[in-house]
């Protein structure tokens, strides 16, 4: 029996975030929606070897692992023939890390170790001393230590089991900072605050909040993403204290009306400012059931005919009664969801209805499908 459903009614996971308060949202701290320009993390990368693997390392066809191991032994005064080297217990890896702002020499940071060869697992291995460089080619940290994959991998002749990803590992606090990134704010007379989500209204609210708190017109919005702030005389030499007072200010960020739909999972995320113009909605489910019931045709007795199978198809349709829902102008998405839930609309039906409303020009919001 073959069944085709035009509108799928299945149990799916749905996350529907609806901010029902018209035009308002919760105030947040400046430090949660913006950064001070120049205060950021820097990415580091390095190439190294993980040793001590239990026969799960790179194969002999991974030539760069052999070359790296031979070169390492050569620097230690040991000469070996590359043709005689086996790397079953060794894996070539790339090591990545993020150097946080204001990190000092001797501080430790976490690193990620990722295989670049054909190793089966990094479980139980140890990363050898690996310099971590920035894009400018300078070494800012060195990493070393036992790796942790947070799982396991095992297999036999006819079965295997795996937990997590065995070719990517972590070393918490596995790198020591050897060089600092110069980030000086002490002598700054002008600071720039960059919003994570550029918006004209949010930038204006930030300017007003700063000026009203400091009681001076020291802040000005350069563009929707940047607010420049002067350092008042009373805060000269107290930049840390000054930034602490700014980043703890609370403002209400604004955002564009937007709906995000994930058709694969049935997830719907709706913003607070979404509005719908006057529209009538009618949506019903249609189920088509196709059933193959073959019949056997036999020839009369003592005849020369043959037994044959005659195909026969039973076709039936079932259509649910559709309800007509009229939404008045300026309806919020919360009111729409409440009305659709009242007539038994499923999440996937809701996605289809939202797309149809957008196509009709009645949805006053940006629609993004992921």
9 contacts 283 by C-beta, under 8 angstroms: no
Report phi then psi at 305, rounded to 5.
-70, 175
pLDDT higher than 80, residue 135: yes
166 & 188 share domain: no
Beta strands 258-262 and 366-369 are parallel
Which of 135-139, 140-144, 262-266, 301-305 comes out lowest in average pLDDT?
301-305
263 & 349 share domain: yes
47 & 166 share domain: yes
Distance CA 219, CA 204 (A): 10
138 & 200 share domain: no
Radius of gyration over every alpha carbon of the chain, rounded to an integer in angstroms = 32
Q: Identify the domain boundary among 142, 177, 212.
A: 177
- Name the domain count of the chain: 3
58 & 166 share domain: yes
345: domain range?
Answer: 2-22+258-369
* Span 3-14, average pLDDT: 36
The model's confidence at residue 108, banded by pLDDT at 50, 70 and 90, is very high
What would the pLDDT profile of 41-75 be if each residue is shown by its tens digit? 999 999 999 999 989 999 988 999 999 999 999 99
Report the candidate in 135, 125, 132, 110 with the shortest Cα–Cα distance to residue 47. 132
* Span 153-163, average pLDDT: 65
Higher pLDDT, 126 or 40: 126
Question: Residue 362: what pLDDT?
Answer: 81
240 & 122 share domain: no
Question: Residue 173: what pLDDT?
Answer: 95
Distance CA 172, CA 10 (A): 42
Distance CA 341, CA 243 (A): 47
222 & 306 share domain: no
Q: Identify the domain boundary among 147, 177, 207.
A: 177
Residue 239: which residues within 8 A CB-CB, separation 6 or more? 185, 186, 188, 231
Question: Residue 334: what pLDDT?
Answer: 66
CATH number for the domain spanning 232: value is 3.30.1360
Q: Identify the domain boundary among 152, 177, 202.
A: 177
105 & 11 share domain: no
Question: Residue 93: what pLDDT?
Answer: 97
221 & 165 share domain: no
95 & 160 share domain: yes
Q: How far is CA 239 from the centre of its chain?
A: 34
Question: Residue 5: what pLDDT?
Answer: 39
84 & 111 share domain: yes
The model's confidence at residue 207, banded by pLDDT at 50, 70 and 90, is very high
pLDDT higher than 50, residue 288: no
Which of 22-31, 176-185, 214-223, 292-301 is the most confident on average?
A: 214-223
Distance CA 330, CA 326 (A): 12
Distance CA 227, CA 220 (A): 6
* Span 340-364, average pLDDT: 77
46 contacts 131 by C-beta, under 8 angstroms: yes
Higher pLDDT, 188 or 292: 188
Report phi then psi at 267, rounded to 5.
-85, 135
Which of 101-105, 142-146, 176-180, 316-320 comes out lowest in average pLDDT?
316-320
74 & 162 share domain: yes
């Amino acid at each position: 029996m073959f069944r085709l459903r035009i509108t799928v009614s299945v149990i799916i996971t749905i996350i529907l975030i609806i901010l029902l308060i018209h035009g308002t949202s919760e105030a947040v701290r400046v430090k949660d929606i913006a950064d001070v320009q120049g205060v950021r993390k820097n990415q580091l990368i390095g190439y190294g070897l993980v040793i001590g693997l239990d026969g799960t390392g790179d194969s002999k066809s991974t030539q760069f692992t052999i070359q790296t191991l031979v070169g390492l032994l050569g620097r230690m005064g040991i000469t070996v023939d590359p043709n005689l080297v086996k790397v079953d217990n060794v894996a070539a890896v790339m090591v990545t890390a993020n150097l946080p702002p204001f990190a000092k020499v001797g501080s430790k940071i976490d690193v990620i170790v990722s295989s670049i060869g054909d190793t089966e697992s990094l479980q139980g291995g140890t990363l050898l001393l690996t310099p971590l460089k920035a894009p400018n080619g300078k070494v800012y940290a060195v990493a070393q230590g036992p790796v942790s994959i947070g799982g396991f991998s095992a297999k036999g002749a006819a079965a295997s089991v795996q937990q997590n990803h065995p070719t990517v590992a972590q070393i918490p606090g596995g790198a020591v900072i050897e060089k600092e990134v110069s980030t000086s704010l002490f002598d700054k007379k002008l600071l720039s605050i960059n919003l994570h989500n550029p918006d004209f209204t949010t930038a204006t609210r930030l300017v007003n909040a700063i000026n009203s708190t400091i009681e001076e017109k020291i802040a000005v919005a350069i563009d929707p993403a940047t607010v420049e702030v002067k350092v008042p005389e009373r805060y000269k030499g107290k930049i840390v204290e000054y930034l602490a007072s700014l980043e703890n200010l609370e403002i209400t960020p604004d955002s564009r009306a937007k709906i995000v739909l994930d058709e694969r999972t049935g997830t719907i995320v709706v913003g607070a400012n979404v509005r719908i113009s006057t529209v009538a909605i009618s949506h019903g489910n249609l189920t088509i059931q196709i059933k193959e019931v073959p019949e056997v045709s036999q020839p009369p007795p003592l005849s020369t005919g043959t037994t044959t199978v005659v195909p026969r198809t039973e076709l039936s349709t079932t259509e649910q009664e559709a309800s007509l829902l009229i939404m008045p102008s300026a309806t919020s998405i919360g009111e729409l969801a409440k009305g659709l839930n009242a007539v038994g609309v499923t999440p996937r039906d809701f996605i289809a209805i939202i797309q149809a409303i957008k196509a009709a020009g009645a949805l006053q919001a940006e629609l993004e499908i992921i």
